[in-house]
Amino acid sequence: MSIQLTVASITVLGPLFILFLIALVFYTRVNQIRYTIRQYTLIIAFAVYILAVMHFVFFPIDVNIGIYANQTPWYKTIQFIPILTLDIPSFALNILLFLPLGFMLPLVKPSADTVGKAVRIGLSFSFSIEMLQLIIRVTLGNGRTTDINDLIANTAGSIIGYFIFHRLAKVTIAQRLIQPLTLPDRSLRKH
């Protein structure tokens, strides 16, 4: 059986966003959490950001199976060599793509209050993306590559975003804007 088709992002991310909204309503009702309108706006903005990242890194997904399959072995699409194989425009775009993660992280997860935690979360998120790209490549024949430079750039972007947030958080005017947005830290709640 041979299959060749393109999966557009809206067909996957649209329903995913609706499921997220339903889960958010369910979660807040079950746990009796009362967020402000600003906090709901932050949560939804963060979800939209995550979906936008997924749109840019995964879609469109070109499914090529059977006679249409990509003939390049999947293991040859993995870039293991850092920096030497660097594409500067792509590297810069990956940094920009992850700046909002580092910036929004202290707002949506107040326990992520150190640069080490920002590094771990940025690295974990980026690694998950690269592994999913590899899985999609192997299973569906998509032409995406898995690149160590993307991992470096994405992590750097989350670190830079984290530092920008903390610089702004020291400014009095920014503190007035940040405080009402910050979600309560659920990890500190007693069970």
pLDDT tens track for 14-47? 999 999 999 999 999 998 888 999 999 999 999 9
Euclidean distance between the first and final Cα of the chain, in Å? 53
Distances 149 to 59, 156, 185 between C-alpha atoms, Å: 20, 10, 33
Domains in the chain, number: 1
Q: Which domain holds residue 80?
A: 3-188
Q: Quick one: pLDDT band at residue 68, thresholds 50, 70, 90?
A: low
Task: Name the pTM for this structure.
Answer: 0.85
pLDDT at residue 20 in the model: 95
Q: Which one is predicted more confidently, 176 or 135? A: 135
Is residue 3 scored above 70 in pLDDT?
A: yes
pLDDT digits (tens, 9 = 90+) for 100-152: 999 999 999 888 889 999 999 999 999 999 999 988 888 887 777 888 999 99
Considering only CA atoms, which of 72, 24, 133 is closest in space to residue 125? 133
DSSP reduced 3-state for 63? strand
Largest CA distance in the chain: 63
